[in-house]
Amino acid sequence: MPLEIRRLHLASLQAADGRRWPVHGFVVTHDGGAVLVDTGVGGPQQWLDDWRVVNRSVADALAELDMSPADIGLVINTHLHFDHCGQNSVFRHAPVYVQRAELSRAERESRELYDWFGFMDARFELLDGDAEVLPGLEVITTPGHTAGHQCVLVRRDGGDPATFDLLIGDAAYTPRVYADPASGQLPPGQASDLPAWRESLRRIQSLGPDRVHFCHHTDVIHR
């Protein structure tokens, strides 16, 4: 059975630029199971108020696909911001794949969030660099948005290694940023480390994904 990508609408929030942005997660179904990439928004109420979050439970979003949290066998966090790992605790039964560098960044820089989600209970699979998670499903490190950010490659048809979809996480918020990372002003928060971020964008573009799926934009880019 080929891998299949299904998008979840998990929330909307008001970004620092005043615009409302969607929050998407993705389910990748495979032979015998399903992987969830990013779990949506959660955290201290003050954070949700600050970002004017209109939130949904990830269970409700999964129900639209006729799925429940129990169907998710494995979680991947692109990074540990509150709109990407906010509902990790719904999946206590599942291992969470995250870069080791990202978990230590969260512990260092974002202690409140780190504690909020009871990370001591979570079953982290800590990755040190690029990794194959399942056949046809890989993560690549793309630091810059955060120190341990990773993107997810999905080879939907199994066979052809040159053909893949990219779940870009927050490596680029929008198609415009992805298409032209060098021009103009970046959205607030896009890059915490600008040189690393630019290098990651170069890397992604040189890999040449067939489709790019965004967490905070509804358009899908086709090559």
Residue 99 CB, shortest distance to Zn ion, in Å, is: 14
Q: Which is nearer to Zn ion, 122 or 142 (CB)?
A: 142
Residue 155 CB, shortest distance to Zn ion, in Å, is: 25
Write a three-state SS string for 19-31. CEEEEEEEEEEEC
For the chain, how far is it from start to end, CA to CA, in angstroms?
24
Q: Which is nearer to Zn ion, 165 or 170 (CB)?
A: 170
Quote the CA–CA distance of 28 and 24 in Å, as a whole number.
13
Positions in the binding site for Zn ion (CB under 5 A): 81, 170
Residue 8 CB, shortest distance to Zn ion, in Å, is: 17
Q: Which is nearer to Zn ion, 114 or 136 (CB)?
A: 114
Q: Which is nearer to Zn ion, 21 or 119 (CB)?
A: 21
Residue 88 CB, shortest distance to Zn ion, in Å, is: 15
Q: Return the residue matching tokens 């970046």.
A: 186
Strand 96-99's sheet: what is its strand order?
Answer: 54-55, 4-14, 20-30, 33-37, 74-76, 96-99, 124-127
Quote the CA–CA distance of 156 and 52 in Å, as a whole number.
36
